[in-house]
Structure 1
Amino acid sequence: MIKIENVNLIYDIGKETETYALKNIDLNIRENKFYGILGPSGSGKSSLLYILSGLKKPSSGKALYNGDDLNKIKNKELSIIRSNDFGFVFQRHFLLDYLTSLQNVLVPLNSNRNEDINRAMSLLKDLGLEKEMNKMPFQMSGGQRQRVAIARALINKPKVIFADEITASLDHKNAFEVMKILKKYKKETTIIVVTHDESILEGVDEIINIWDGSIIEDKKKLVNSCSK
């Protein structure tokens, strides 16, 4: 589904000090699987997520989606892929303060069709937010706002969900609840979660360990760093 081949991401190219965010990355992402990208702060895990989703272009190497090189796709076509095929959830929920939960979920569709409203309501119910549908973001807890963001990411039935440190601002109870909710949708979509907390990745299909911009096999070294 998504394949990256010998990818490097370099900042300050041509300057005296170049910074490698990613080094010689090869990776295959398969359909309907749950992936965790695990690493400490500054390890390159978010950069890897951005390459996989086409939000960033590699300095060298290829990032392929369904066989198409994301680096060669025109920006307009890439924007359509991200709108139709991808869903995004970030550490900050980015909900619009002046819209209700239900309205926020419908934002990606820009639609008032009954079938879309019913899907949004169904998602919120499934995420335990039946009573919060008409609440504004400031009227909800952090965990509830993050669940609204997940519903918004799922509204267009994406083929891939990209989630970047979505539990970092939550307590462990809410973090595990958010991950439990995401796992329910694994049969419908591929899910890729970036985190520094290995404990929330219990039950995922594959953990991609990243250290200093490289995928590593030395899991002990990585876990010790993440736990500091």
Structure 2
Amino acid sequence: MTRTDPDDVTLIGHRACADQYPENTVGAIERASPRVDAVELDVRRCASGELVVVHDADLGRLTDASGPVADADWSELRELTVLGSEESIPRLDGALDAAPDDLTVNVEVKEPAVAGDALDAARRAANEVLFSSCHPQALAALRDRDPETARALLVAGGDAERAVEAATDLGCVAVHPPIDVATEPGFVDAVHEAGLRVNAWTATDRDEVERLLGAGVDGIIADRWDLLPEPGRSSRD
């Protein structure tokens, strides 16, 4: 195992740096983008059919409203504000428009049925897009629709062999494990031997980052952009 050089690891802002900005919002994307290599966003469908960038299936934690996102029309969602800020829930195309063209966007597909429309939105954007999901059906749909899409399998368990087999079958370029899985002895090596990258989630402090660097991961999905050691990491300003 070789420790990852901090300058070589990809820093991915989780929900566009959720610990620093109102998560998954245009404002968060705009403020995080100069500081990270990529932003991770969550996508699901609302009642009127639009793809919206929101992590939770229910509105209660994020807004003053309640009930499932899937039961709310876009006309309702656009009027809500996120976590007491002035930022609103964006549509996926609006979020992609807010990202600088040279910023990679990791779109996490929360529902398999949105995969095709998410791909259409990504094709209209200038950004490089990495699709990730814990739903193999979503990744298979993306593969079948466009084999050239970059895809990553989100895994929760620590069985490296199973993760590699599933990700390989789906034609993925990466595996996204939680920190405790990524730092298990042999996990990163097993994934690397299969020719896949490891982007681990979700780092919230420097100690977790150090553990992941020691494990040799390729990317760190983090709630803050200021967790990687300095100097040597340059801003995208």
TM-score (norm 1): 0.36
Instruction: Give the structure, 1 or 2, with the largest relative contact order (CA under 8 Å, sep 6 or more).
Output: 1
Rg larger for: 1
Structure in which a larger fraction of residues adopt strand: 1
